[in-house]
Structure 1
Amino acid sequence: MSGLKPNSPMPTEIKLHAISKRLEIAFDDGASFTLPCEYLRVYSPSAEVRGHGVGQETLQTGKRQVVITAMEPVGHYALKIVFDDGHDSGLYSWDYLYQLGKHYEINWQDYLDRLAAAGAGRGE
């Protein structure tokens, strides 16, 4: 995962909504996204989730109830998110968060399809 690209949108506001388990993020280009904790967890940019190359991804299951317990800025380019299942190794660049928001519908359906194909579930 790379850092910022030229003309990358920068976040202007980040809010964690603990009860609804969602992260709200607004960018300086006017875009705003509300991303479920489960979505952020299953699309973590970490090697643990994504692997070290195409086809090495690990399908994340049983993450419906996962919540964010901490967030830390990393320089001026990313956010480290800590989840209550112990996962804390993903650095979410502003570009990556923007892309997760922009492509939420497609990504989420892809995740649900992969779960179904594996005969796996999202958890309670």
Structure 2
Amino acid sequence: MAGLDKDTPLPTAITLHSKSRKLEIAFDDGSLFELPFEFLRVYSPSAEVRGHGAGQETLQQGKRDVDVVALEPVGNYAIKPVFDDGHDSGLYSWDYLYLLGRNQTEMWQDYLERLERDHGTRDPALVPPPAPKGGCGSHHH
């Protein structure tokens, strides 16, 4: 992962709000974002969520109640949240967090639309078990 773009705003404060399940992040350009844990989790930059290219993303479901149990600094360019579902491979660089904050409304809407399209759910109790591996004729290439 290359260093940060010199134009990327740097965070001046990062606060975990466990009760409201939000990560509050203030940047030195005056921006202040509140990113829900669920939003962070479903847009994790890790390979297991994003896949290896466009259209390879794994739709994350049932993350409505997900918690961040720890926040680990990574160098001086990223943080690594540890989620209570065991997910901890996402490195959120400052520019990625900034992008999430700036585009939160559109990205969340996009996520909800994808859930709807795939008949997914945000409710952990309603998530179907993982589909058996093997061909499932719904891949578009």
TM-score with structure 1 setting the length: 0.97
Q: Aligned residue for 2:98?
A: 98
CA positional deviation for 1:82 = 0.5
Q: Aligned residue for 1:45?
A: 45
Cα–Cα, structure 1 residues 2 and 109, in superposed 2: closer, same or farther, change >3 Å? farther
CA positional deviation for 1:55 = 1.1
Name stretches of at least 5 consecutive residues in structure 1 with no aligned partner: none
For CA contacts below 8 A with separation 6 or more, give which structure has more relative contact order: 1
Cα–Cα, structure 1 residues 89 and 7, in superposed 2: closer, same or farther, change >3 Å? same
Name stretches of at least 5 consecutive residues in structure 2 with no aligned partner: 125-141
SS at match of 2:14: strand
Query: What RMSD in Å do the two structures reach over aligned CA positions?
Result: 1.0
The residue correspondences of 1:1-124 to structure 2 (distance < 5 A) are: 2-123=2-123
Give me the whole-angstrom Cα distance separating, in 2, the residues matched to 1:63 and 1:43: 11
Give me the whole-angstrom Cα distance separating, in 1, the residues matched to 2:3 and 2:44: 15
TM-score with structure 2 setting the length: 0.86
Q: Report the structure, 1 or 2, having the larger strand content.
A: 1
May I ask how many residue pairs the two structures share in their alignment? 124
Identity %: 65
